Structures are given as structure tokens and as C-alpha cells.
A and B are shown apart, each in its own frame.
Chain A
Amino acid sequence: MILLFVENFKISLSAVFANKTRSILTALGIIIGILSVTLMGTLISGLDKSFESSMSWLGKDILYVSRYEWFSDMEWWEVRNRPRMLPEYVNKIKEKSQYALAVAPVMQRGASLSFEDKSTRTEIFGTNEEYMETISTNIATGRFFTKNEDRSGSRVTVIGEGIREAFFGDKDPVGKYIKIDDIKFRVIGVLEKQGKFLGLFSVDKQAILPFGAYKRIFSKRGWMRLSVKVPDDKLEDGLDEIISVMRHIRGLKPNEKNDFAINQTKAFEKQYKALKIAIGGTGIFITLLSLVVGGIGIMNIMFVSVKERTREIGVRKAIGATKGMIMGQFLMEAVTICLFAGSVGILLAYIFSFFINKFFPSELPIFLSLVAMFMSIVVGVISGFIPSYRASKLDPIDSLRYE
């Protein structure tokens, strides 16, 4: 059986190569099908990767308490009428909540930073000493500010890796003074490199200031949110508790709606899943369509091949081929075309994903290549089945007489 398998494969190869143009044209549908399924997979795996790292940066165990929902179909005026977050919520939450492990207020705005003759525009954050517990990034050099520095309004800052690179190069930034909107701050630490959030914008260009100094210098009022860390095995309980603590702080009656939002990475996950389904659905649709069209093309070409080689089939039967052997020969031919098409499709996908990777982190999963190969084989078997079956059923005498 192995011998025959090898032989059939050789026959198929020579049949496919004898009609190169025909084979390539026939294979086109399958090539596109395989290309689209692998590219789709590449895209999704790339999205998954950057999503995962972005989400871990946000932190699954962090509740973001603010005025706005991240993704919401609420009317804007309804949201606008909500009361703003206040700095005293930090202590209130700490008092009333048993799940809150860390509570950090976060204010944010754009500012221009400069050091010697270099300057850049970036986001600055004002927060307290518990902030580090609510992000997954660590300090690379130096240290974070302390509670005392926060209270006393010390002008110290922790900068992102992007700022360090732009301003200091090889030099040690700790102890140096930079200007934030023309006010001097002493650099006391640098955050680790974090990369791009969702592959879109860099979060390494930032400066973190103690809440006290930030509030005094940059804005007393202004947009603020709270990051609340809860135990990651008590996410649901933590959420419920923070909601009721917030309702209590706001003095809401049982029949009143929440006038605040508590966001979690889950919200991103939901959005992301919808995006994934959209990409996946489109990809699968294109794939199925081109595989069906391609499969019909293969079936057609196999009918032609069987017809062209009717006499050969007669001869082969006369010298001892069984029906099964003839069937195997033609099935193998169909599968060979499809495998060829599948390989070309995967190769193209690798080339494409190499270029896509320049703009967007992506990678063609090996597993998907195998699935694509398997799919090619299945298409080959399905589309080759009827022509091969017909070939096997041919009457040897009629075939030998065939001109």
C-alpha cells in the first residue's frame, strides 16, 4: 500500500507539473481560501497578543472608578450631569471597604517637559503613593515617591522610559531636575518600558507626580478617576462592595441609578470579543467561499483529467489495477493540487504577516498552518471524490477503446 501511495504521489506530481498553468489557475481559489484563513488567524493572534499585554498593563484586579463608562451607549448629557470624582473618596473608600487593597486617585493632563535644551509634550499624571500597586509596571531605576512627599507637596517625579531615553540617553536621570510646564521637578525614578497600549500608542512617554504637587500646580478641579485594587480571587465581591461604598458616599437611595461608572478590563474584553468575531466571521466567510469555489474548480479539472486519461485508466486496469487503486490515484492528484495550493497560501501568508508585523504585532501560529494544510487535504478529498469514483468505475474495455 505504501508503495502504491508513493507511486500515486509521483503520478500526481507529474500530472500537476505537466499542466502547470492549468494547475495554478485551478489552485487559485484554494490559495485565496488558505491565505485568508491564515491571515485571519495571524491577525487575531496578533490582536490577542497585544490585547493580552495591554490588559495585563491595565490589570484584571483593578476597578477604575470614574464618571464615564469606557464603552457605553448612554446619552452624553446623562453622563455629564453626574457629579465629579473627589480626592476625599480615596480615604472614604479605604475606610468603608474591606476588599480595597490599594486606592489611587489619578488625574491626568497634557504638559510640556524639558531638560536642558530638549523638550517634548506628554501626559502627566497626579496620583498617590499607592499608584504603583494599581499598575503592573515596576520601577526600573530609582524609587517611587512616598506618602510624605505626597502630603508635603514635594516637587518630585517618576518618568517613563520614553522620557528617560529622550532626555538622558546614557546618563543617570535620578537626581536631575526637569521642567514640567516651566516648574522644576526632581527625577527620583524611572518606570520600566511598557510598549504600546493595544499596539496603538506608547505609554512610555509619561511623568508621574505626587497628587499634592499636581493638584496645587496644575489643576484643582479637573477630571479624575480612582484606581482600586481588589484581591484577584474576589473580583465579583470587590466590585459589589465598591459599588455599594460609592452609592453610600454619593448618598443614593435604593431606587436611584448609579451616578458613577466602575470600569474593568472585562469591558475591553467584551469589545474585543466583538471585534474578534467580526474579523473571524469575515475571514471564515471569505475562506469558505473561496474554498467552495476552489473545490468546484478542482472537481472540474479532475473530470477533465479523468477524461483525458481514460485510455490510461483502461491500460492500468488491464495490467492489474483494482478500482481502489485507480480511485486512489485520482484522489491523490486532487489532494496534491490542494496541498500545493495550501502550501502556496501559507507561504504567502507568512510573507504578508512579515510585512503586517512591521505595523502591528502579529505572528502566524504554527497550529493554524497545520489546520490550513489539513483543510487543503479535506477540500482535495471532497472535490476529488466524485471524479475519482467515476474513474474507478470506468469499464476497462470501453476505456481501452476510447480515442
Chain B
Amino acid sequence: MALILLKNIYKIYNVGGEEVRALDGVNLEIKDNEYLAIMGPSGSGKSTLMNMVGCLDTPTSGIYEFEGEMVQVMDDSQLASIRNRKIGFVFQTFNLLPKATAQHNVEIPLIYANIRKDKRKEMASEALSSVGLSDRSHHRPNELSGGQRQRVAIARALVNNPSIILADEPTGNLDSKSGEEIMKILDDLHNRGNTIILVTHEDDIAQHANRIIRLLDGKIIEDLYIEKNDSFIC
């Protein structure tokens, strides 16, 4: 069974009487534990597709099945529950709450999941240490570097043990060294069985994935599986 199944998805905006097809008939199947990179020029619909998959956006037409369930018929609390438990978002601009500490930022999904305080603290600390930030848990975002902020964001994304991590240009605002650190964490998550979907402009970032799709004007123009030879990477 496909984890994610998009059938003939359209997302059409009307800007000043003119039709903008952000997604123009997308068909896509993503299986468990895939590592997918979405590429394409600016405005091609990458973020729109990502938000669709993350149940943040609804298609103008088409069918989206998440774990075999029709997303269109779900109500707000079901969608919120999927976003909370099954999906972890990582944004290009981090989107941490500026006044909250790293620890608290990471705890927020757990609060929405109604997890008790002591358990919550434990899970958040664990998530922070898995991204190497145990010693920064009481810092606020403005006391952290860009790379560290993104790692806090990843900790927040993975703290509730979601099966899917969605990362929209996670390295877009980072220098290449910090970017590599972030990619290492994503690789690790993939190796531990998570499904990773990643939007990127950079080819060497996309090389971390084992499948690359290219978008152009809202259409998938290329869908490529990369055969990886582990000995090759070393």
C-alpha cells in the first residue's frame, strides 16, 4: 500500500482574473521509507505540492489518499492529528516561536498531542540530543546560529515520532557546512525507517535522496530513482 497517493491533483489560483496552475495534474505515489527530493525552478509548484502532502493545503480537484484514507473528507481535528502525529515539518525559514526556548519549541507538538509534562520534557530532551543540541536547550532562537535553529526545527519535527518528515528547502538559508550537518540528520532519520520528502534547488543536496522528481509549471516532468551503491559513497 502506498503511504501517499496523489491522483490527478490540481491546485489552481485565480490572480486578477488570470488562472495560475500551481499544480497541474500531478500523479504521485510515495512508499514507506522513501527518500524523495523535489526539484524544479522557482514557481514550479514545489512548495504547493509539499503543503498538499502535509495536509496543510487542499487541492482544487483530484484525490489525495494518506495511508489509504481520503484526505478531502477529513475534518479539522483529523487533519490536525495527522500533522501532529504522522508528519513533521521543516521549513526554510525555521519558523520557531521567537520567545520560546529551544526546549519549549520542541515540546509544542507534544502539548497538542496531550502528553504529560514529565514525559514531554523527556521526549523533547531526547529529540534535542539526537540533533546534537542538548547543551542549547534553554536558548531562545535569537541566541542560536541558523544551523542550530534548523536543528531545533528538526527536533520539533521528529519529537512526536512521525513517520514522514517534510522539509521545504531546509538548507536554503544555511551555509554549506551547516547544510551538510542538516542533511546528515535527515539521512540518519531515513536510515532509521522514516520517509523523507525534501524540496531543494541544489543537486548535491538532492543526491542524498534515492528518488528525484522534477516539476515544471505544476507538472511532474521527470521521476528518477537513484541506484545507490553504499561502497560508492565511502
Contact = CB atoms under 8 A, between A and B. Distances in A.
Interface of A: 1, 3-4, 7, 14, 18, 311-312, 314-325, 396-397, 400
Contact of B56 (A3, A4, A312, A318): A318
By CB atoms of chain A within 10 A, which of B56, B96, B111, B116 has the most? B111
B91 A320 contact: no
Interface stretch (B38-46, B73-81, B216-224): B73-81
Nearest to A321: B112
Interface in B29-84: 51, 54, 56-57, 76-77, 80-81, 83-84
Given A315-B95, A317-B83, A4 B76 contact: no
Contact of B83 (A1, A3, A318): A318
Nearest to A7: B111
Given A4-B111, A396-B56, A400-B95, A319 B116 contact: no
Nearest to A319: B109
Given A1-B114, A311-B95, A400-B95, A320 B109 contact: yes
A14 B97 CA distance: 12
8 contacts: A3-B111, A317-B80, A318-B83, A319-B84, A319-B112, A320-B80, A320-B81, A320-B85
Contacts of B157: 319
Contacts of B80: 317, 320-323, 325
Contacts of A319: 83-84, 88-89, 108-109, 112, 156-157
A316 B117 CA distance: 19
A312 B198 CA distance: 23
A397 B81 contact: no
Interface of B: 51, 54, 56-57, 76-77, 80-81, 83-85, 88-89, 91, 95-97, 99, 108-109, 111-117, 156-157, 160
A397 B51 contact: yes
Contacts of B109: 319-320
A283 B117 CA distance: 45
Contacts of B96: 315
A318 B79 CA distance: 10
The A interface, classified by DSSP as helix, strand, loop or mixed, is helix
Given A319-B157, A325-B112, 9 more contacts: A3-B114, A315-B97, A317-B83, A318-B56, A320-B109, A322-B76, A323-B76, A324-B77, A325-B80
Report, nearest first, the 6 A-B pairs whose CB atoms are least far apart.
A320-B84, A322-B80, A320-B112, A319-B109, A315-B95, A396-B56
Given A312-B97, A320-B109, A397 B77 contact: no
B56 A317 contact: yes
Contact of A397 (B56, B83, B111, B156): B56
A7 B112 CA distance: 10
Contacts of A317: 56, 80, 83
A3 B108 contact: no
A324 B77 CA distance: 9
Given A315-B97, A319-B84, A4 B57 contact: no
Contact of A18 (B85, B88, B99): B99
A323 B97 CA distance: 18
Nearest to A401: B47
Nearest to B82: A320
Nearest to A399: B56
A92 B95 CA distance: 96
A316 B108 contact: yes
Contact of B117 (A3, A4, A321): A3
Contacts of B88: 319
Contacts of B54: 318
By CB atoms of chain B within 10 A, which of A14, A311, A315, A320 has the most? A320
Contacts of A4: 111-112, 114
B140 to A, nearest CB: 12
A311 B91 CA distance: 12
Nearest to A312: B97
A14 B99 contact: yes
A3 B229 CA distance: 48
